[in-house]
């Protein structure tokens, strides 16, 4: 099956939480381009500059099929709002591994676990076609086999990963007990235009633009499976449509595993000059390696990542230049 086909969604009423964030804003735009009616929810919190979020959503803001509700997911009257809604893409969360230690943890339990529980409680009374939950590769922690398949026992190494896994388990519970048609997408490091400013590629390319040194945690030999934003969006659309996706969790990766050092070398070619690196102590909560086995997603939802790391980084660079140049 072609991941971007539009078999089941036709003029559906769709809710996207976290609509002004990196992934949510792209998803909203793609859904509107397909002619869907979309309600976006975002509280524009200050985990990073809310003006960036306003920019993210600005292209969709005034489109006729779009309604933006600026509020906390926990404050919404979901029983009313979900009337007539067919699909929920639940992207809202407190992202970021490092900030999840210490006093910041409360934001993670509130925004990741409580929001999901509130949505699922409302969804159990409704007749949704699909509830797609944005999970994370961080549920695996330091996996012992690569590429890692969904049958691997999740064992997060960060408080963030613990909350993402807890919410994923809640989705499973509401599916089994109340028939909520949940799907969990375990994204592996998503990148591209609008990437969050706390994420490595964004920080590296911004530093390269200003000819500043970058900070690398650890020796740079850690590997990641990087997923381009368009591929992550395609996975959302496909998982909302594929009949066999309900009740499942899927790895969503970019199709190749590269070291952080290799990505910096690719960036140097793109930006046209060497990038100075300051090596820092490894950060607690960062998995050493991630690599997605996407064969289940390929089989059940037709997922096939299309954008290479070279092409994806080139596109993120163009966006960084426009944002800060």
Ligand X SMILES: NC(=O)c1ccc[n+]([C@@H]2O[C@H](COP(=O)([O-])OP(=O)(O)OC[C@H]3O[C@@H](n4cnc5c(N)ncnc54)[C@H](O)[C@@H]3O)[C@@H](O)[C@H]2O)c1
> 23, 249, 307, 309: which one contacts ligand X (CB under 6 A)?
23
CB nearer ligand X, residue 5 or residue 45:
45
Report whether 5 contacts 37 (CB < 8 A). no
- Mark 136-175 with x for binding to ligand X (rule: CB under 6 A) and - for no binding: x---------------------------x-----------
Cα separation, 117 vs 14, whole angstroms:
19
Cα 293 from Cα 253, distance rounded (Å): 8
Quote the least distance from Cβ 181 to ligand X, whole Å: 19
**45 contacts ligand X (rule: CB under 6 A):** yes
Binding segment for ligand X among 188-196, 243-251, 258-266, 275-283 (CB under 6 A)?
188-196
**Site for ligand X (CB under 6 A): which residue of 3, 14, 18, 141?**
18
Q: What is the CA radius of gyration of the chain?
A: 19
DSSP string, 27-89: HHHHHHHTT-EEEEEE---TTS-HHHHHHHHHHHHT-TTEEEEES-GGGS-HHHHTTT--EEE
- Give the residues across from 187 on adjacent strands: 136, 252
Q: Does 134 bind ligand X (CB under 6 A)?
A: yes
- When asked if residue 285 is in the footprint of ligand X (CB under 6 A), the reply is no
Using CB under 6 A, pick the residue from 41, 68, 97, 183 that binds ligand X.
Answer: 41
Pairwise CA distance, residues 78 & 157, whole Å: 33
Nearer to ligand X, 37 or 110 (CB): 110
In the structure encoding, which two tokens stand for residue 281, read together?
């102590």
Q: Which residues are catalytic?
A: 160
Chain contacts with ligand X (rule: CB under 6 A): 18, 20-24, 41-45, 47, 53, 72-74, 91-93, 95, 111, 115, 134, 136, 164, 187, 189-190, 196
């Amino acid at each position: 099956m072609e991941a971007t086909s539009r078999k089941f969604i036709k003029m559906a009423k769709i809710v996207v939480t976290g609509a002004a964030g990196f992934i949510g804003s792209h998803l909203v735009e793609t859904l509107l381009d397909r002619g869907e009616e979309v309600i976006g929810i975002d509280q524009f919190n200050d985990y990073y500059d809310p003006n960036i979020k306003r920019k993210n959503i600005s292209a969709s803001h005034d489109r006729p099929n779009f309604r933006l509700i600026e509020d906390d997911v926990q404050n919404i009257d979901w029983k009313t709002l979900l009337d007539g809604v067919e699909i929920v893409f639940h992207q809202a969360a407190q992202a970021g591994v490092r900030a999840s230690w210490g006093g910041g943890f409360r934001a993670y339990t509130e925004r990741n676990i409580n929001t999901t529980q509130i949505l699922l409680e409302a969804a159990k009374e409704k007749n949704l076609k699909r509830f797609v939950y944005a999970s994370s590769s961080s549920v695996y922690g330091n996996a012992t086999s690569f590429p890692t398949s969904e049958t691997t026992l999740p064992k997060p190494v960060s408080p963030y990963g613990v909350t993402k896994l807890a919410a994923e388990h809640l989705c499973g519970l509401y599916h089994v007990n109340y028939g909520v048609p949940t799907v969990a997408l375990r994204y592996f490091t998503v990148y591209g235009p609008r990437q969050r400013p706390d994420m490595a590629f964004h920080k590296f390319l911004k530093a390269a633009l200003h000819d500043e040194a970058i900070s690398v945690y650890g020796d740079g030999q850690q590997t990641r499976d990087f997923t381009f934003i368009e591929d992550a969006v395609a996975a959302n659309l496909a998982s909302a449509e594929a009949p066999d996706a309900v009740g499942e969790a899927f790895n969503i990766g970019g199709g190749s595993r590269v070291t952080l050092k290799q990505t910096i070398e690719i960036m140097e070619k793109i930006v046209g000059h060497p990038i100075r690196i300051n090596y820092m102590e490894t950060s607690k909560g960062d998995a050493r390696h991630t690599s997605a086995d996407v064969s289940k997603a390929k089989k059940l939802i037709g997922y096939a990542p299309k954008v290479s790391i070279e092409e994806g980084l080139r596109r993120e660079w163009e966006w960084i230049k426009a944002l800060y140049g």
